Structure 1
Amino acid sequence: MAVASATVAAVGLSLVGSAGTAQASTTSAAPVVTRAALDPALVAGRGASVNFLEQEAENAATNGTLIGPDRTAYSLPAEASGRKAVKLTGGQYVEFTLPAAANAITVRYSIPDAPNGGGITAPLNVTVNGKNKQVMTLTSEFSWLYNQYPFSNDPTAGLLHEDWWITECACVPAFTDPKPVIATPFRPMHFYDEQRLLLGKTYKAGDKVRLTVPAGSNAAWTVIDLLDSELVGKPHVRLVASNVLAFGADPTGRRESADAFDRAIAFAKKWHLKVYVPPGVYQVNRHIIVDDVTIEGAGNWYTVIKGSEVALSEPAEDGSVHTGVGFYGRYAEDGGSSDVHLSGFTIQGDVSERIDTDQVNGIGGAMSDSTIDGLYIRHTKVGMWFDGPMDNIKVTNNIIVDQMADALNFRKGVTNSLVSNNFIRNTGDDGLAMWSDGVADANNVYDHNTVQTPSLANGIAIYGGTNNTVSNNLVADPIREGSGLHAGSRFGATAFDGYLKFTNNTVVRAGTYELNWNIGLGAIWIYALDKTIDADIQVTGDHYLDSTYNAIMMVSEWGVKDLVQIRGVKFKDLRIDGTGTSVLSGRVEGGASFENVDARNVGAVGINNCGSFHFTPAGSEFVVTDLGGNDGGGTTGPWMASWELPNTITCDDRPPVVVPPAPSAW
């Protein structure tokens, strides 16, 4: 969740990789299956277990042009999985060899915006073994944001906030004379989208799926990032159920079906039945309120509940100015909902702008003692946003992609809940968040999830709360103003209390550039802003791979640097393979302990210890405690050198970046 200003792109980032362009091979390529653009062996046992196999376009056969690697914000390769992709023009192709039997594919792509915003459409031909052509209609309607938070669809617009600091001019334009000229489009971002396609039959391993941009395409270029291939099973059928078709739902999507869903739910509750939604596309343009009900689809490839964002005649009580497709529990202040069970369908919106007061999320409200399983959620503002207090929800096996903001957020008193085995890609804010907004989120677990390419903010972020665990997750490629893992005393959250555990997570290509501060963050970022952080924070068993800047960042804001501290964080049994700068950047008063933290390919001094920038004769205000077993290092020697301890000032505010080699087996 990012509510600070969005900021600058490129200053100094040529140090972290330049955008290479090369004509790619036209020869047939054997399938290279990856997870988050890595050898799966490097992330074994971590992240979500999914039904599809990922192949990066840069590893496929193509006569297009490789773009990347590059991590410069506002560039196409920076937002691609693995920071590489393939650019095609008319007549060019990417061809993937199926690694296993498949009857369905997902393509992640980008095409240009319209000159004045709002997107264009363009065709992409799909053939298998040169036959059975299908045409995907690509769109940029739901991508291409510009400007400062909360962003704009208009590439020609002036600044949204002239009174904010702008790094490009090193000024606040409203108070600068003469007023600077800010070039447009200003800070383009959120370039990618994805589409699914059933191939109509099952193809075997070794068959060739070719994606071709037809000659004369109205898109000047088409970037292909990756292809996921999958063998989709038969539709799920529930014969004894409250079938929405019996109540007038239209599976062709031509007529509105929201009222039919309401009638089916009422009938199911009266007769103690489940609601069944057969294969089809159902138009629903408002919230479906759910309480004490089970709704099953035929599977998220078959049952699609699709709706448009609808302007309200006057703002709702919650501040919304639009409504749209979504399944909502009653709000907590209205008693909340319970015993809600949703599974096996897609929720697809058409949200193309970020309005934070709008409730245009796929799932919302409060749902206690409930389950959400096997959904596919796309093009809503937030995939799932829960406003507590509420207790005991299990969110499992879902796919959430192409969101304007978070994929999932537990806000305000969500307790005793589990988020597990979910796959998340291309969010416009945090992938997974817990926000203890005035009431603590407590006793929750985020486990075995995969979060890829959030274009803003963090992969997994915890804002305050009590006794929460983040374990066995895979986070890759956060783009700007965030990290892979984040613990923040921010946004009015309750203080961290009890414990917060980060356990056995893998974070790759994180440690991004903080565009307001003009410094690099860490693969894990602990930030004291509103309050001191002195809970039992344990970081154990994590792997931080190929961090753009630091592996670990602990920091406070300059304006509160003498008011807050971060104390007592424990790092143990970590593997750090590749940092552009340091293992640890300490920019706060307090301290942390380290035990069995092994590092290699470290680009700068192992510990960049600035403390709270008073540089006292006694040393830094940030104390590093060596509990033993901290081995390895990089260009400047051992990462934890004896001369650095416990609080030697080693403050190089912006050390040069040394790009590390690709991660490898430990």
Structure 2
Amino acid sequence: MIEATQNVTDFNEKGSFTSGLQEAIDALPKSGGIVWVPPGVYTLHRHVRLRENVTVRGAGQSSRIVRTPEVSSPLMSEADAGDTSVHIQSGSEFTVGMEVSVFDKVQHGWYATHAFIVGISENRLHLDRPINRPCHPERDGRVAHAFSAFVGWEERGCELESLCIDGSNANGQSVFVDFTVSAIHLVRTVDARVRGCIVQHWLADGVSVQGGVGAIVSDCLAEGCLGHGFHPGTSVQHSLWTNNIGRDNGRDGLYFCMNVRHSVVSESTFYGNRRHGIGGLADGGDQYNVVANNTCVDNAHHGIEASRGKDNTINSNICLNNSQEEPGRYSGIALMDVTGMTVTGNRCLDDQEAQTQTYGVEESGTSDKNLIVANHCHGNLVGGVITVGADTKSADNLE
């Protein structure tokens, strides 16, 4: 059977807030199909909503998705739950059709509001949907033109392939570095696929998969994003993250968030990130995940960080020359307040003239009942393997 196909250039007309991408997706039949994105530059003023069994396919780096510059303004009065307009300090840089996020120090993440501007009257923005949670000026409430490039929400079989998504973040700043405005933001999807995509300089995370099952993120590059490069979170299960590169991101190369289960991060490289290579493992209920055959090199903090949880496997990774931000503070693999972890066959080394990586494998806090076996931990600043748990098993490590 021949799949239905639409070419985005057939819809890229003046007046489209997504350079024809949303219109091309919506033109496909209910059964789905393919949207072809030929070489070119496609500017977004708002996110593109993915659909079930729809593949958006580009030609690699020459199919560039860019966004309009971020603008923002403080709230001048409370934006109460249910309101469909917000009073801001200045509306001069906002335009009808833009997507905005409304948030404050309390209402962010899942509690922020994301809406389209349908009208502007002086310094009041009129929105297409009501405010989710109340936001207050005294809590630094703001409205920002911050949004995702692609969103898949409770869809089955949505796919992104061979696209270059460029946030054009030249100044390295944003007022809203939040996972809900990741470049690719998938929520409770089933069998979603992200293949061969590049995310550069986005104003939040690169690729975020929150909840759902069966997602595969492969052969992707996330670089220079203000948030994490990759972000499995919010109870996502049975997901695969393989053959990816996360480099020079503002937070972790890859970050595990709450209740990630039965997922695998493998065959990937994470380097030059401003926090950990791989971070957040075990924290918040992550359990029965595998981190294997990755390289974590020259990151600011730990190579791999696991904390406040249990029952994950860290196997056959290379953690080299980490703790670049503060020599002697962070280790190759850090086990903090964790139990039931299996840490085997890793190479946690420092081969710099002036070492920075503290230990190869460092167990600390209330950690206990971990298995730390057959790791090669040579040349670190302080030592190879250190344990604190009375029932932790540490054996056959080369230091």
| Alignment TM-score > 0.5, same fold | yes
Write out aligned runs for 1:550-561 (5 A).
550-556=359-365
Residue identity over aligned pairs, in percent, reads: 20
User: What does 1:98-497 align with in structure 2 at a 5 Å threshold?
Assistant: 241-248=5-12, 258=18, 260-270=20-30, 272-308=32-68, 309-311=70-72, 315=102, 318-319=112-113, 321-330=144-153, 336-351=154-169, 352-354=172-174, 355-357=176-178, 359-366=180-187, 367-380=189-202, 381-388=204-211, 390-436=212-258, 440-462=259-281, 463=283, 464-479=285-300, 482-489=301-308, 495-496=309-310
> Partners of 2:304 and 2:367 in 1: how far apart?
16
Cα gap change, 1:348/1:269 in structure 2, threshold over 3 Å: closer, same or farther?
Answer: farther
More RCO (CA 8 Å, sep 6+): 1
Structure 1, unpaired ranges of 5+ = 1-237, 331-335, 490-494, 557-564, 600-666
Contact preservation (8 Å) 1:476, 1:509: yes
CA distance in 2: counterparts of 1:570 and 1:465, whole angstroms: 18
- Residues 345 and 356 from structure 1, CA distance in 2 versus in 1: closer, same or farther, beyond 3 angstroms? closer
Q: Amino acid of the residue matched to residue 457 of structure 1?
A: H
Residue identity opposite 1:592 in structure 2: T
1:313 to 1:416, Cα distance in 2 relative to 1, 3 A: closer
- The Cα shift of 1:590 comes to 4.5
Q: Does 1:539 align with 2:354?
A: no
| SS of alignment partner, residue 226 of structure 2 | coil
Q: Secondary structure at the match of 1:520?
A: coil
Counterparts of 1:394 and 1:315, CA distance in 2: 31
CA contact (8 A) 2:32 2:51 kept: no
Q: Deviations over 1:108-166 (max 9, x none)?
A: xxxxxxxxxxxxxxxxxxxxxxxxxxxxxxxxxxxxxxxxxxxxxxxxxxxxxxxxxxx
Is it true that 1:577 corresponds to 2:360 in the alignment? no
User: How far apart are 1:259 and its partner, in Å?
Assistant: 6.1
Instruction: Find the residue that maps to 2:270 and give its secondary structure.
Output: strand
CA RMSD of aligned residues (A): 2.5
Task: For residue 377 of structure 1, give the secondary structure of its aligned residue in structure 2.
Answer: strand
Q: Secondary structure at the match of 1:281?
A: strand
1:302-343, CA deviations, whole angstroms, 9 ceiling, x for partnerless residues? 10011123546671652563323511112xxxxx22211110
- The secondary structure found in structure 1 opposite 2:378 is strand
Matches of 2:67 and 2:56 in 1, distance apart? 18
What letter matches 1:483 in structure 2?
A: H
**Residue in 2 that maps onto 1:15:** none
Deviation track 1:251-276 (CA, whole Å, cap 9, x = no partner) reads xxxx8551621221112243642111
Distance 1:423 1:513 in 2: 21
Conserved? CA contact 2:292–2:317, under 8 Å: yes
- Whole-Å Cα distance in 2 between the matches of residues 454 and 511 of structure 1? 10
Q: Conserved in 1, the CA contact under 8 Å of 2:33 and 2:55?
A: no
| Structure-2-length-normalised TM-score | 0.74
Query: Cα offset for 1:589?
Result: 5.4
- Relative to 1, partners in 2 of residues 1:590 and 1:520: Cα closer, same or farther, differing over 3 Å? farther
Q: Distance in 2 between matches of 1:505 and 1:383?
A: 23
Could you tell me whether the CA contact under 8 Å between 2:371 and 2:393 is conserved in 1? Answer: yes
Distance 1:420 1:545, change over 3 A: same
Counterpart CA distance in 2 for 1:271 and 1:421 is 30
Q: Does structure 2 conserve the Cα–Cα contact (< 8 Å) formed by 1:417 and 1:444?
A: yes
Q: Distance in 1 between matches of 2:16 and 2:307?
A: 43
- One-letter amino acid of the structure 2 residue matched with residue 572 of structure 1: V
| Alignment partner of 1:595 out of 391, 395, 399 | 395
Contact 2:4–2:28 (CA under 8 A) maintained in structure 1 = no
Q: 1:244 and 1:488, CA in 2 relative to 1: closer, same or farther beyond 3 A?
A: same
- In structure 2, list runs of 5 or more residues that go unmatched: 73-98, 104-110, 115-143
Tell me if the contact between 2:275 and 2:302 (Cα under 8 Å) persists in the aligned partners. no
What SS does the corresponding residue of 2:26 show, helix, strand or coil?
helix
Shift of 1:485: 0.8
- What displacement does 1:459 show? 3.4
Match of 2:314 in 1: 502
Q: Work out whether residues 298 and 344 of structure 1, in 8 Å CA contact, stay in contact via their aligned partners in 2.
A: yes
- Check conservation: 1:427, 1:455, Cα contact below 8 A: yes
Q: 1:94: which partner in 2?
A: none
Task: Check conservation: 2:178, 2:227, Cα contact below 8 A.
Answer: no
Give the equivalent residue in structure 2 for 1:19: none
Mapped contact 1:453–1:478 kept (Cα < 8 A): yes
Instruction: Please give the alpha-carbon distance, in whole angstroms, between the structure 2 residues aligned to 1:348 and 1:260.
Output: 17
- CA 1:596–1:373 in 2, change beyond 3 Å: closer, same or farther? same
Aligned amino acid, residue 337 of structure 1: E
One-letter amino acid of the counterpart of residue 332, structure 2: A
Report SS of the residue matched to 2:20. Answer: helix
Aligned residues: 323
Call closer, same or farther: CA 1:337–1:514 in 2, change over 3 Å: farther
Whichever residue aligns with residue 374 of structure 2, its letter is D
Alignment of 1:629-648 (within 5 A): none
Q: CA deviation at 1:240?
A: 6.2
Do residues 568 (structure 1) and 369 (structure 2) align? yes
SS at match of 1:576: coil
Q: Give, as a single letter, the amino acid of the residue that structure 2 aligns with 1:315.
A: V
Distance 2:179 2:257 in 1: 18
Distance 1:595 1:442, change over 3 A: same
> Aligned partners of 1:398, 1:555: CA distance in 2, in Å?
33
Q: Distance in 2 between matches of 1:338 and 1:276?
A: 19
Closer/same/farther in 2, CA of residues 244 and 314 from structure 1, 3 Å limit: closer
For the 8 Å contact 1:318–1:357, the answer to whether it is kept is no
Offset, 1:488: 1.2
SS of match in other structure, 2:60:
coil
TM-score, with structure 1 as normaliser: 0.46
| Alpha-carbon shift at residue 503 of structure 1 (Å) | 0.8
User: Secondary structure of the residue that 2:370 maps to in structure 1?
Assistant: strand
1:431-475 Cα shifts (integer Å, max 9, x gaps): 111111xxx211000010011101223434413411100000011
Structure 1 residue 585, shift from structure 2 partner: 3.8
